[in-house]
Structure 1
Amino acid sequence: MRRRLINSTLAVVLVVIAVFGVSLVIVETRTITTSARERVASEASRLVAIVDSRLMAADRITEGVLTEQVGTERYARIEIPERAPIEIGTKPEGDVIKATATGEQGETVTVEEPRSTVTGEVGRTLLMIGLVALLAVIAAVLLALRQANRLASPLTDLAQTAERLGSGDPRPRHRRYGVPELDRVADVLDGSAERIARMLTAERRLAADASHQLRTPLTALSMRLEEITLTDDPETVKEEATIALAQVERLTDVVERLLTNSRDPRTGSAVTFDLDEVVKQQIAEWLPAYRSAGRALVRSGKQHLMVEGTLGAVAQVLAALIENSLMHGGGTVALRTRVTGNQVVIEVTDEGPGVPPELGARIFERTISGRNSTGIGLAVARDLAEADGGRLEMLQQKPPVFGLFLSRSRPTDDDPARTEPEPTVR
């Protein structure tokens, strides 16, 4: 492209120089020739006037007197009746420019000038025109180079940006070039880069969320299968297998919810359900793990609270909190349900060291972790809670208290909420 721009610009300049330059040369040559003829004619008229004045004054006309009146580059011949001709200067050879004038006393003055003087002037004029044309060509080449770089460099840069997008690097460059058309292309590429970056981020986030959300039910299912392999009691095997099948169904629900959230994170199937079902199910699932760790898992507070939401999402959030307390907390883990206004709160607390002060509210940010973990568990739990119409907050740092807020369904006379603390489960 650079070469094409330079060649096209240079061609235009050369055509302009050829058209106007040739015309200028012709005009200047004619002007110089005409000026030389007029100059010689004027010289002849001047010499005639001088000779007339001297003849009328009866002054002596000699070569010495007239030599001072004629330039050295010209030749003059004065013919006076009844006198010998007077020649001044050297008669030029070859082509000359000649002019003749006749005086009142019958004298004739002929002035000649070699045409080489005209040729010299024409040559100097042509040299000046040639220098100007050369400067014009140089200026045109420099201008063409500048314009070519101004257009070709942005195009090369835009091609590199497109290549980067195709190779999986979606970072926008935010470069503009001062050319509206090229800036428009840059805007489109930057917009595409931002959309691709968002799509890649969403895909990576979905993969991370899926791996984290599937790990918890798979761990619980693995523990149930281990319980089955360690017992010979048919009733125990049947009970554990039933629980395992229920966990498989919840695992399927997790997968379906992940796929749904990948399309529209606000899409849900909110229903009214008894919160006790989720709490009991989570305690039953995590009980073997807490027994293995020598720790206790207890619950207290109001029971038979009806809430609105998605049972699977609430179960996943509680599982994330319970697992977080198992991995990072210490002592007894307590689940407490209470009512505040038109909301139901499930508090999960333990007797561990709590959340480090330097983390604070950042504990819900992705990749933020106080220990060697993925750092996305609580972030995923909060996203699930918000997508389901609730919210997850850290109510206290030490000892740690996390609260899951859910919308409360209006109680009925047949199903009142009552406080019946259950015994400690160990």
Structure 2
Amino acid sequence: MRRRLIQSTLAVVLVVIAVFGVSLVLVETRTITESARERVESEAVRLASIVDSRLLVEEKVTAAVLRDQVGEDRYVVVRLPGRAPIEIGDKPEGDVISASAPGEEGETVTVQEPRSSVTREVGRTLLIIGLVALLAVIAAVLLAVRQANRLASPLTDLAETAERLGSGDPRPRHRRYGVPELDRVADVLDSSAERIARMLTAERRLAADASHQLRTPLTALSMRLEEITLTDDPETVKEEATIALAQVERLTDVVQRLLTNSRDPRTGSAVTFDLDEVIQQQLAEWRPAYRSAGRAIVTSGKRHLRAVGTPGAVAQVLAALIENSLMHGGGTVALRTRVTGNQAVIEVTDEGPGVPTDLGARIFERAISGHNSTGIGLAVARDLAEADGGRLEMLQAKPAVFGLFLSRTPPRKSRDDNRQTVR
């Protein structure tokens, strides 16, 4: 591209120089020639007037008298009536510029100048024009190189940016070049890089969330399947299989919720449900793990509460809190239900040392953990709670008390929703 820009600029300059240079040479040559002819004619008229003035006062006209009046490289012939011609200077050879002027006393003065003097003057003019043209070509080449670098370097940089995007490096470079068209391309590439970065972040987040959220349900399911393989009692097999099927349904709901939340965290399918059913299901699922750890998990508080939300999402939030207490807490874990205003609250607490002071409110940030865990569970739990219009808060640090707040009143349907229902 650099070569093409330089060649095109140089070609334009050469064409301009050729067109205007040839015209200028022709005009200057004609001007110099006409100027030389006018000088010779003026010289002849001047010498004729000198001869006239001397003849009027009856002074002698000789070559010695007129020699000082004749310019260099000029040949003058003065013809007087009845006398021999008076010659001044050397007669030029070859082509000459000649002019004659008659006098009042009958004399004639002829002045000749060799055309070589005109040729020399034309040559000097051509040399000056050639030097100017050469300087113009050099300036054009330098300008073309500068412009080519100014345009080619950003294009090379933009190509490298596009290649980086294609190779999986979506970091925007935020470089601008002072050329509106190139800056527009840079803006589009930076916007694309940011979109790709968000997509990659969402995919990594989905993978991490899925790995974290599915780990415990899969472990519980594998335990149920092991129970089935170790027993010969048909009733036990049937009971364990029923529980395993229920766990598979919850796994399906977990995956669906994760996918939905990754696309739009605000998307929810809130319904009115019984909190006791979700709490009892979580107790039944986690009791074996707590029993193996020599700890207990209990429930207390107000019964038969109904709340608005997605049962699967609420179950995942409670599972995250219960797992957090199992891994980082101590003693008995209690799930307490209560009512505050128009909200149903589920509090999860344990008898452990609580949340470290340096974590504080950052406990819900991703990758924040005080015991070398992934730091994903509480962040996902808060996202799930907010997706259903609820909220998850840490009510107390020592001992740790987390509260899940859920609305008890179904949200009002908008007119558009009613229209869609009627349709």
The TM-score with structure 1 as length reference comes to 0.90
Question: Contact 1:336/1:348 (CA < 8 Å) preserved in 2?
Answer: yes
- Separation in 1, partners of 2:226, 2:105: 148
Question: Contact 2:261/2:384 (CA < 8 Å) preserved in 1?
Answer: no
The residue aligned with 2:277 is 277
AA aligned to 2:398 is K
Query: 187-196 vs 38-47, which deviates more?
Result: 187-196
The residue aligned with 1:47 is 47
Question: Contact 2:272/2:309 (CA < 8 Å) preserved in 1?
Answer: yes
Displacement of 1:27 after TM fit?
1.0
The residue aligned with 2:176 is 176
Tell me how many residue pairs correspond in the alignment: 410
Displacement of 1:276 after TM fit?
1.4
Displacement of 1:377 after TM fit?
0.8
AA aligned to 2:270 is A
The residue aligned with 1:150 is 150
| Post-superposition CA distance 1:115-172 (Å, at most 9, x none) | 1110011001111111121122222222322332333333222222222222222222
Displacement of 1:384 after TM fit?
0.8
The residue aligned with 1:316 is 316
SS state of the match for residue 104, structure 1? coil
The residue aligned with 2:58 is 58
Displacement of 1:186 after TM fit?
2.5
- Separation in 2, partners of 1:133, 1:223: 92
The residue aligned with 2:416 is none
Displacement of 1:260 after TM fit?
3.2
AA aligned to 1:250 is R
The residue aligned with 2:399 is 399
Displacement of 1:239 after TM fit?
4.1
RMSD: 2.1
The residue aligned with 1:120 is 120
AA aligned to 1:16 is V
Question: Contact 1:223/1:288 (CA < 8 Å) preserved in 2?
Answer: no
- Separation in 2, partners of 1:369, 1:182: 45
The residue aligned with 1:382 is 382
Question: Contact 1:296/1:331 (CA < 8 Å) preserved in 2?
Answer: yes
SS state of the match for residue 406, structure 1? strand
The residue aligned with 2:414 is none
Question: Contact 1:79/1:109 (CA < 8 Å) preserved in 2?
Answer: yes
Residues 410-425 of structure 1 mapped to structure 2, 5 A cutoff: none
- Separation in 1, partners of 2:263, 2:297: 36
SS state of the match for residue 173, structure 1? coil
| Post-superposition CA distance 1:391-421 (Å, at most 9, x none) | 11111112111111111259xxxxxxxxxxx
| Post-superposition CA distance 1:228-268 (Å, at most 9, x none) | 56667766555444333322221122123223334444333
The residue aligned with 1:416 is none
Rate the CA distance shift 1:101–1:340 in 2: closer, same or farther, 3 A.
Answer: same
Displacement of 1:85 after TM fit?
3.0
The residue aligned with 2:421 is none
Query: 339-348 vs 213-222, which deviates more?
Result: 213-222
SS state of the match for residue 176, structure 2? coil
Displacement of 1:50 after TM fit?
0.8
Query: 261-270 vs 44-53, which deviates more?
Result: 261-270
- Separation in 2, partners of 1:384, 1:21: 80
| Post-superposition CA distance 1:213-239 (Å, at most 9, x none) | 111211222343455566677665554
- Separation in 2, partners of 1:28, 1:61: 39
AA aligned to 1:57 is V
The residue aligned with 1:94 is 94
The residue aligned with 2:256 is 256
- Separation in 1, partners of 2:30, 2:269: 98
Query: 336-345 vs 270-279, which deviates more?
Result: 270-279
- Separation in 2, partners of 1:269, 1:25: 88
Matched, 1:300 2:300: yes
AA aligned to 1:215 is R
Displacement of 1:289 after TM fit?
1.4
Query: 167-176 vs 323-332, which deviates more?
Result: 167-176
Question: Contact 1:313/1:384 (CA < 8 Å) preserved in 2?
Answer: yes
The residue aligned with 1:339 is 339
Displacement of 1:312 after TM fit?
1.0
AA aligned to 1:222 is S
- Separation in 2, partners of 1:407, 1:139: 77
Residues 63-82 of structure 1 mapped to structure 2, 5 A cutoff: 63-82=63-82
Displacement of 1:106 after TM fit?
2.1
Residues 216-255 of structure 1 mapped to structure 2, 5 A cutoff: 216-227=216-227, 238-255=238-255
SS state of the match for residue 303, structure 1? coil
- Separation in 1, partners of 2:290, 2:232: 23
Question: Contact 2:297/2:333 (CA < 8 Å) preserved in 1?
Answer: yes
- Separation in 2, partners of 1:109, 1:260: 113
Query: 30-39 vs 350-359, which deviates more?
Result: 350-359
Matched, 1:140 2:144: no
Query: 389-398 vs 116-125, which deviates more?
Result: 389-398
SS state of the match for residue 404, structure 2? strand
- Separation in 2, partners of 1:294, 1:327: 13
Query: 95-104 vs 79-88, which deviates more?
Result: 79-88
- Structure 1 gap segments, 5+ residues each: 411-426
The TM-score with structure 2 as length reference comes to 0.90
The residue aligned with 1:414 is none
| Post-superposition CA distance 1:152-207 (Å, at most 9, x none) | 33322222222222222222223333333333322222222222222222111111
